Amino acid sequence: MSKSERPNQLFRNLNAKVASIPMVLTAVVIFVGGSAWTVLYSFTNSKLLPRLNFVGLDQYYRLWSTPRWLVSIENLLVYGVLSLVFSLVIGFILAALLDQKIRFEDTFRTIFLYPFALSFIVTGLVWQWLLNPEFGIQGVVRGLGWESFNFDPLYNSDIVIYGILIAALWQGTGLIMCLMLAGLRGIDEDIWKAARVDGIPTLKTYLFIIIPMMRPVFITALVIIAAGIVKVYDLVVAQTSGGPGIASEVPAKYVYDYMFFAQNLGQGFAASTMMLLSVVVVIVPWAYLEFGGKKRG
């Protein structure tokens, strides 16, 4: 009987499957094909134009011996870990507060989500101005009489990545808040009532009951944040252009500069391949958690 049902399963929603063929071909040819092409030419010494002159792993040896690349990886790790943690924590806290049926909820939700409507370039320019030591936050506070106040992260090579992080959190936390709020609104009210009847404190209810039930929401938020972390570029260019010196370099900027300014395609392809590997590291666990768990269930 199962064999007789297989053709029916195969041809179910046939129109939708036929309509999806262009999208599938686009994904295979452009994304998969482009990725394979990039990996292939990362083993060549291509300069201005791509050419199949293989040099083995020379581009990768050079890549990992370049201080600029090492700084960009360090910045990405610091920025990534902090962005991931603070986005999830702040987003969830804001969502939990809005979930209390407060007055003017729509207004607050709009205010928190509005920065996400801005491009990274606009966000970067706004925060470049706010963090300017002369006429930004530091200048305003000093103008009020606190002459010793210092807040110029974009001009300090030791903490410049944290200034970029502030702008990123300001823009992206609102989206995470909305995802979390949607997840909280999907929790059955009977769960809350049962927790209150059992005398479970609110904090423990969130930690041990609500958050585990919101696992799919957290996984979705994790993938969105991780994708933004790997491809961060606009924000850095708008705020610091990689400075002071190379203190705020990130992999995406390294790739762009080598491919379009240094005219060294082989080195740019090698760096792109490393970024591709980082994306795979994110996607594979997500796919396993999303689909592997369902198959086992």
Question: Shortest CA distance to 221 belongs to which of 251, 274, 177?
Answer: 177
pLDDT at 5 over 80: no
Separation between Cα atoms, residue 296 and residue 278, nearest integer Å: 27
Q: How far apart are CA 111 and CA 116, in angstroms?
A: 10
β-partners of residue 54 are: 44
Q: CA–CA distance from 208 to each of 159, 203, 211 (Å)?
A: 36, 9, 7
CATH number of the structural domain 59-291: 1.10.3720.10
Alpha helices (H) in the chain, listed in sequence order: 2-10, 14-19, 21-26, 33-41, 58-64, 67-98, 105-113, 120-130, 137-143, 160-185, 189-197, 202-205, 211-213, 215-230, 234-239, 251-260, 265-287, 293-296
Cα distance between residue 151 and residue 139, in whole Å: 9
Q: Round to whole Å and give the CA distance between 77 and 229.
A: 9
Q: Comparing 8 with 208, which gets the higher pLDDT? A: 208
CA distances from 161 to 20, 65, 88, 201, 203 (A): 42, 22, 19, 38, 32
pLDDT at 9: 63
CA-to-CA distance for 252 and 120, rounded, in angstroms? Answer: 14
Helix (H, G, I), strand (E, B), or coil: what is residue 43?
A: coil
pLDDT at residue number 1 = 47
pLDDT in tens, 229-255: 988 999 999 999 998 999 999 999 999
Read off the pLDDT of residues 40-50 as tens digits, 9 standing for 90 and up: 999 999 998 88
Question: How much of the chain, in percent, has pLDDT values that exceed 70?
Answer: 93
Cα-flanking dihedrals φ and ψ of residue 234, to 5°?
A: -55, -45
Instruction: List all residues 6 or more positions away from 61 whose beta carbon is below 8 Å from its beta carbon.
Output: none
- pLDDT value of position 6: 52
Per residue, the 3-state secondary structure of 149-172, as one string, reads CCCCHHHCCCCHHHHHHHHHHHHH
Neighbours of 125 (CB within 10 A): 15
In order, the DSSP letters of 169-204 are HHHHHHHHHHHHHHHHHTS-HHHHHHHHHTT--HHH
In the chain, domain spans? 1-41, 59-291
Tens digits of residue pLDDT in 58-83: 999 999 999 999 999 999 999 999 99
Higher pLDDT, 270 or 6: 270
Has residue 297 got a pLDDT over 80? no
DSSP 262: S
Cis, bond preceding 244 (omega within 30 deg of 0): yes
Residue 174: Cβ within 10 Å count:
22
Residue type, 32: V
What average pLDDT does the structure give for the chain? 88
CA–CA distances in Å: residue 178 to residues 105, 111, 115, 213, 218: 12, 12, 13, 17, 12
Tens-place pLDDT, residues 208-230? 999 999 988 998 898 889 888 98
Task: State the pTM of this model.
Answer: 0.86
Neighbours of 62 (CB within 10 A): 15
